[in-house]
Amino acid sequence: MNTPLTETAGLAWRTRDTTRQLSRALIVSFAIALVSGLLLWLRLGHDNLAQVLLLTHLCAGLLAAILFPPFVVLHWNDGREPFRHLFWPLAVLRAVGREAYAGKRLLGLAVLWTLLLVLLSGLLVAAPAVAYLAGYPLTWPYGSQVLLLDLHRLLTPPLILILVLHLPLRKTP
């Protein structure tokens, strides 16, 4: 016999379901950005393919940047993590030996900050080109785009590793 969900239980279920769907969309957009970025980094193909890859990389990164804030808010609420841990994760670090999920929470904070840096550095690198195409020329201080691109490239491998460690492993029957 099916019993109706209470309002609180229904809201919790919808929130978890929304978080799950947002996480899937975020992972797909991140995977597209990862593959297109890797192909750009390897310099495969000709100029036209490079332009398609660059546009694909930018669109996937922009989609990830759009999906990231709502996912973080919903996921944060699902875990009932205190907001202060976002900016001061030492409390989580001290709990690593004592609490079961403290390590996973710490990895989640590392994913959050690393992904934020990768997204922002990529969008800041692309901003002058997009502004130029829109008819509003924009330039960053000399050499800053090189530092931003290096940050974008160097943080991507640790981000992938931390993300894989943070994602839940599902047991198949």
Which string of DSSP letters, residue by residue, matches 36-87?
HHHHHHHT-S-HHHHHHHHHHHHHHHHHHHHHHHHHHHHHHHHHT--THHHH
Say if CB 62 and CB 120 are below 8 A apart.
no
Residue among 28, 99, 39 nearest 61 (CA): 28
- For the chain, what percentages of helix, strand and coil (3-state, to nearest 5) are there? 75, 0, 25
pLDDT in tens, the chain (173 residues): 455 555 554 455 556 777 788 888 988 999 999 999 999 889 877 788 888 998 999 999 999 999 988 888 877 776 666 776 777 667 666 666 666 666 777 888 888 889 999 999 999 998 888 888 888 888 888 888 889 999 999 999 999 999 888 877 665 54
